Amino acid sequence: MLVGGGVRDLLLGHAPKDFDIATDALPEDVKKLFSNCRLIGRRFRLAHVFFGREIIEVATFRASQAEEKQNSISNDVDRSHDDSGRILRDNVYGQLEDDVWRRDFTVNALYYDIANFSIVDYTSAMNDVENKVLRLIGDPQTRYREDPVRMLRAIRFAAKLGFSIHPDSEQPIFDLGYLLGDIPPARLFDEVLKLFHSGQGVKSLQLLRRYNLLQYLFKQADDLLKQGDDIFDAFIHLALESTDKRINEGKPVTPAFLFAAMLWGTVDKLSDDFKQSGEPGTLAMQNASSIVLSKQVKTITIPKRFSMVVRDIWQMQHRFKFRHGKRAKSLLMHKKFRAGYDFMCIRSQAGEVTDDSCEWWTRIQTMGPQEQEILLKPAKAKPRKKKSTVKK
């Protein structure tokens, strides 16, 4: 059975990002059936079946908790909760009629039966599709406690689909956001990318702020925005807008740019403080970067390959003012020049860079190597006045 985002997006006329399959076959049996299959997940065991570059997620029907209690078929190894109600494992298998109730939103709980081309709807999801409403299945408090990431999923789907969150599903978010603090940083990294790399990053940020959840993902950015830092506010908006545009044009994006942008306001201020107290620019930024990044990774993992680029982008920012000689040339040759340059132009658009750096560095990239050489020539030292040697 096709289920989840694939069915939902097809009904709404969107191109599905991927296809999720639900089946009564056990993960081990799926693995036996497909040689190109891998079982993943401890908390939620799944089979990934590879078709070329595509991955099809195959999940075995899960039983609901009520079912579990009635039949007492499970034991602690298969399902467990922590004190706040969070599900630590969810590997009790059941039938489709059970599986429906543990999905998050009604619109994600539609099944498409490939055998007879029919849609199976147990939760009045079709009504919600029609009214463009996201509604959690079951008691919203309990469902958010079971898995706090569902709050972020609510925001992601609201942004992506243009749906509103049903008042009953919306209200608990204001009180339960803090539960995101218990989510492993690696899972938050995945979720944050889904929020900001789906072409609706501006909308996602707006919603995170509206529901006061930004503090649980990017505390440092949230603090600055709450202090009313208008330039940083404008900068973040423009950065996300440019990422959205790139994604919608099919251009590649990197998580490094997102993290560099989210943390820029904080790292810039801190490195300024260090400079004030006498550190040279490069060292000041290096130290500020380490502090800001190490705070951030407590909440969201940033794999090293990205954090290195984040540092590069930040470090480049104070180098754009040098337009001549070796310094300027090596900046132009920097392997992350393009990211650093894009970043600087967005700062410029936000009103943070007040000289013509963006225009100048834009122009030089349109030139041939020879013209570039001329423009980059070391600034001539002022001709020294010749000592007047009076000939006798």
Interface of this chain with Mg ion, residues 15 to 34, rule: CB under 5 A: 18, 20
Q: In this complex, which beta carbon is closest to Mg ion, that of residue 19 or of residue 257?
A: 19
CA pair distance 150, 94, nearest whole angstrom: 22
The DSSP H or E segment spanning 234 is helix 230-248
Q: Does 18 contact ligand ATP by CB under 6 A? A: yes
String marking each residue 222-261 x if it binds ligand ATP according to CB under 6 A: ----------------------------------------
Q: What is the edge-to-edge ordering of all strands in the sheet holding 110-113? A: 37-40, 46-51, 54-60, 20-23, 2-3, 110-113, 118-121
Q: Does 103 contact ligand ATP by CB under 6 A? A: yes
Among 91, 108, 296, 348, binds ligand ATP (CB under 6 A): 108
Judged by beta carbon distances under 5 to 8 A according to partner kind, the member of Mg ion, ligand ATP, none in contact with residue 68 is none
Give me the least distance between CB of 167 and ligand ATP, in Å please.
20
Q: Does 265 contact Mg ion by CB under 5 A? A: no
Among residues 42, 47, 124, which one has the least CA distance to residue 88? 42
Which one from 98, 99, 104, 128 is the annotated catalytic residue? 104
Q: What is the DSSP string of 104-133?
A: SBGGG-EEEETTTTEEEESS-HHHHHHHTE
Q: Any bridge partners for residue 118, and if so which?
A: 113
Q: In this complex, which beta carbon is closest to Mg ion, that of residue 113 or of residue 175?
A: 113
Which one from 9, 20, 98, 222 is the annotated catalytic residue? 20
CA dihedral 119, 123, 124, 126 (to 10 degrees): -40
Give me the least distance between CB of 43 and ligand ATP, in Å please.
10
Q: Could you tell me where the beta strands, DSSP code E, fall in the chain? A: 2-3, 20-23, 37-40, 46-51, 54-60, 79-81, 87-90, 110-113, 118-121, 133-134, 164-165
Q: In Å, what is the CA distance from 332 to each residue of 160, 225, 328? A: 37, 32, 6
DSSP character for 179?
A: G
CA pair distance 310, 131, nearest whole angstrom: 41
User: Under rule CB under 6 A, how many of the chain's residues touch ligand ATP?
Assistant: 12
Among 68, 147, 268, 312, binds ligand ATP (CB under 6 A): 147
User: Under rule CB under 5 A, how many of the chain's residues touch Mg ion?
Assistant: 3
Give me the least distance between CB of 90 and ligand ATP, in Å please.
9
Backbone angles phi, psi at 182, to 5 degrees: -90, -5
- The CA-CA-CA angle for residues 347, 289, 286, to 5°, reads 105
Q: Does 191 contact ligand ATP by CB under 6 A? A: no
Give me the least distance between CB of 13 and Mg ion, in Å please.
17
CA pair distance 147, 279, nearest whole angstrom: 45
Annotation says 18 is catalytic = yes
Among 49, 63, 134, 149, binds ligand ATP (CB under 6 A): 149
Among 2, 3, 5, 93, binds Mg ion (CB under 5 A): 5
Q: Which residues bind Mg ion (CB under 5 A)?
A: 5, 18, 20
Q: Which residues bind ligand ATP (CB under 6 A)?
A: 4-5, 17-18, 20, 103-104, 108-109, 147, 149-150
Which residue numbers are catalytic?
A: 18, 20, 104
